[in-house]
Amino acid sequence: MTQTTTAVGYLLPTREVVMAQATPDCGRIVQLAERAETLGFDSVWVGDSILARPRLEPLTTLAAAASRTSRVKLGTAVLLPALRHPVVLANEVANLDLLCNGRLILGIGIAGNNSSIEREFTACGVDFRHRIGIFEEGVELMRRLWTEPEVTFHGRHFQLDGVSLGLRPVQSSGVPLWLAGGVDNALRRVLKLGDGWFPLPNSPETFARNWQRLEALGQEMGQDAGRLARAVYVTVNLNDDTAQAEREMRAFMEGYYNVPYEAMVAVQAPYNGPASQCIEWLQAFVERGAETIVVRFGAPDQTTQQERFAAEVLPALRAA
């Protein structure tokens, strides 16, 4: 695959500021979003969890970032739409797209299958066993509410009769939806429901292999995989002292996910080390078709990581 440029995004540390102190420093998050735009990043992103991995709420946080930026895209990596009623969520998302003048992208997923996330869904009044069906119906409803004058829908989980949304996104076809996932059923959902594919792979080779599978499934389903935006979400610690970078990454991963480091790197291997090798690692994703790279910094000093990445890595990716 060939492409002329690579878009690079920065994941704001909305979980880390909640973990760090009793009163999260929301102002710091907005400053980091502003700084990302100044440094030349193309987008800023936020994660989502209400109880399982507490963090700042994504849509209101992006609204604050929207008020202090003018160029960068704003995205979720990733939002769990099944935790919200689709009519309410469609209205909130439309409002956010209006606030940021059409700069919004929704990365969305179904959530992992573990006990803490199941408890989160239960506490939010959502049947965890049916989260995939709820997700699929909710995505269909949001798209229709954004683009149709009136929506009637009779599904298993949602019933609407003649509903018209008062707020519409600036983006006339609706806010782009980039779906996470790597297994066959998830890839089929990407083809059926998505505008883009947004995985968290453990290597460029895994990314390439899953993209090939996505293309094959597209042919089976009569869907053009080539129409999809292709993004990848990676975690990086830049440091010429590789041992120190790995220590910081270990502390970050274990604190973030509350599981052993070795378990996490098996499914989402991070990069720890100097900028020169990071460039090679990220370019391998680009060579295999990634159009957007969203970077999360697994380090306590976000500002230094931001600035070093912008100075040493970003120019090389621009030329990739």
Over residues 121-133, the pLDDT tens digits come to 999 999 999 999 9
Q: Which amino acid is at 49?
A: S
Which residue matches tokens 């991963």?
A: 253
Supply the pLDDT for residue 1. Answer: 41
Query: Which CATH number characterizes residue 184's domain?
Result: 3.20.20.30
Cα(258)–Cα(204) distance, rounded to whole angstroms? Answer: 26
Q: What is the pTM of this model?
A: 0.97
Is there a domain that residue 53 lies in?
yes
Q: Are strands 229-238 and 271-273 parallel, antiparallel or unpaired?
A: parallel
Is there a domain that residue 266 lies in?
no
Is there a domain that residue 37 lies in?
yes
Counting the structural domains of the chain, the total is 1
> How crowded is residue 256: how many other Cβ atoms within 10 Å of its Cβ?
19
Is there a domain that residue 80 lies in?
yes
Domain span at residue 196 reads 7-231+276-294
Do residues 249 and 243 lie in contact, with contact meaning Cβ atoms separated by under 8 Å? no
Is there a domain that residue 16 lies in?
yes
Mean pLDDT, consecutive 10-residue segments, the chain of 320 residues?
Answer: 76 96 93 98 98 97 98 98 98 98 98 95 98 98 98 98 97 97 96 98 96 98 98 98 98 95 92 98 97 98 98 90
Supply the pLDDT for residue 177. Answer: 98
State the Rg of the chain over Cα: 19
Supply the pLDDT for residue 4. Answer: 57
Is there a domain that residue 257 lies in?
no
Is there a domain that residue 187 lies in?
yes
Supply the pLDDT for residue 320. Answer: 63
Supply the pLDDT for residue 319. Answer: 79
User: What's phi and psi for 237, nearest 5 deg?
Assistant: -130, 110
